[in-house]
Structure 1
């Protein structure tokens, strides 16, 4: 929940560090205020089973409508990926080596097009659940079939090997994607990704962490399950703990390399509020042969 900037939560030292440095990385989950603990404790009513099944059935439709409403204007281009994930540059054996990347859940290309501009020795496979999002990618002036292949895909059931050769990808980026998938189907999606990743290749992951502000601001009646919620537009979001995330990836055949909470504060200067954001930033490796 939002707090006035002059106040801090129970973890005052951590929040002060965030305010100074922009973000910090922690192995421990964010400590909640008594008010936040009480809110989560009292939020026990789940969305009906009928509505949950309807949301799952219409998941693709709801994301397609999201991109119809927002087109390419909702998310900012992610120029921070090469700063946060040095593997996008360092995993090459030699400087001129072409890097093969899969952006799973590419949206309208906010991650891939900055990468294609910055790195001339890269080929990107880009897939998304939403056909409309994929069309936006293909309409981008920077899209070229010589450097990029975009296609529609449901990671939980469509075989990626229909579009990508087996074990051919060096790096997979999975950024704010897994949280939108039903928890029962997350492992299927990860196993699908593992098939196209080469031995020794890595998945670079960033997504919503447990007790992020977005989780705490959901009102009663939006809860689908433990740490799983539905937004007003019908899209869904899961909030991960480090332990649950590592378990998911390891069961799908990956090794955990890095798995940390990223804690930040977003400041609303107009209202004088500090909003605590919690993300998980992780790296998982497919074991070498």
Structure 2
């Protein structure tokens, strides 16, 4: 991504100076789970495609990786109707998956799938911004946490609490695999006036939220607040071409890996400070030097 593109994107976003009224902002923020439940009521299992690409992007999901010396345990947060679960379970027969979502309807779709078996997959309802994962999963017992297009659905002020919640169940040396929408993504630039709640946070027509991340924001959440080690944290650009619709543009995502320290003390301290830190964390101005993407 070159400097000229970043400048044009910033100019486009700067034109939208209006924000959603406070009443509606509060409603969208507090009813995130409810709006996603309505989404799955309308779309059932037909909206998202299965994610067959995840083991190409994240080697940790492949059979024979270091974590496979013993049967690895994975937690998928924001599992939806299982589009991540089924391809990974098929390609990695040793994997055990916990899967959670704050939409009860989505979790029921996972449980009703013909491939669902609690021997290999246990799905449960959980709002990771307030429901303690360790009430269902033993602390420090999970090798891998996948966070694929899920944090963008959370209000920014609740994201730090979600990180601390995840960190509590992560093994020493365990990893978080993260992919989500990046700043200046095509979807962000296409929002019309009247959908912006704050910088980088928007509401879709159906009431669901969409946040667009900078790599700085990820570092703030997972390293500075969560006490994790940063293994990867960068922008990923995918070219989108559709001649029929005259589309030739770039999708911008953030992709990252974070690892829990081998010493569990920093993890315990990070979780202990959640009740204070989750309300004080603020999103600083993002780093716009994206030439290395």
In the superposition, the TM-score normalised over structure 1's length comes to 0.87
Partner of 1:263: 237
Instruction: Measure, in 1, the Cα distance between the counterparts of 2:10 and 2:138.
Output: 47
Partner of 2:38: 65
Instruction: Measure, in 1, the Cα distance between the counterparts of 2:85 and 2:91.
Output: 10
Q: Give SS of 1:256's match.
A: strand
1:147 equivalent to 2:120? Answer yes
Instruction: Measure, in 2, the Cα distance between the counterparts of 1:57 and 1:154.
Output: 12
Q: CA deviation at 1:30?
A: 8.5
Q: CA deviation at 1:41?
A: 1.2
Partner of 2:249: 275
Q: Give the gaps of 5 or more residues in structure 1.
A: 1-9, 12-28
Instruction: Measure, in 1, the Cα distance between the counterparts of 2:168 and 2:258.
Output: 14
1:170–1:30 CA distance, 2 compared to 1 (3 A): farther
Q: CA deviation at 1:264?
A: 1.2
Q: CA deviation at 1:44?
A: 1.2
> Which of residues 92, 96, 103 is equivalent to 2:67?
92
Q: CA deviation at 1:88?
A: 1.9
Partner of 1:230: 203
Structure 1 segments (4+ residues) deviating >4 Å: none
1:29-178 to 2 correspondence within 5 Å? 31-32=5-6, 34=8, 36-89=9-62, 90-92=65-67, 94=69, 97-178=70-151
Q: Give SS of 1:32's match.
A: helix
- Larger relative CO (CA 8 A, sep 6+): 1 or 2? 1
> Would the aligned equivalents of 2:61 and 2:92 in 1 still touch at CA under 8 Å?
no
Q: CA deviation at 1:244?
A: 1.1
> Would the aligned equivalents of 1:191 and 1:253 in 2 still touch at CA under 8 Å?
no
Instruction: Measure, in 2, the Cα distance between the counterparts of 1:266 and 1:154.
Output: 33
> Which of residues 161, 166, 187 is equivalent to 2:160?
187
Aligned residues: 260
Q: CA deviation at 1:273?
A: 1.9
Q: Give SS of 1:195's match.
A: helix
Instruction: Measure, in 1, the Cα distance between the counterparts of 2:198 and 2:136.
Output: 34
Instruction: Measure, in 2, the Cα distance between the counterparts of 1:286 and 1:33.
Output: 36
Instruction: Measure, in 2, the Cα distance between the counterparts of 1:188 and 1:197.
Output: 15
1:201 equivalent to 2:174? Answer yes
> Would the aligned equivalents of 1:129 and 1:154 in 2 still touch at CA under 8 Å?
yes
Note the aligned Cα RMSD (angstroms).
1.4
Partner of 1:17: none
> Would the aligned equivalents of 1:101 and 1:172 in 2 still touch at CA under 8 Å?
yes
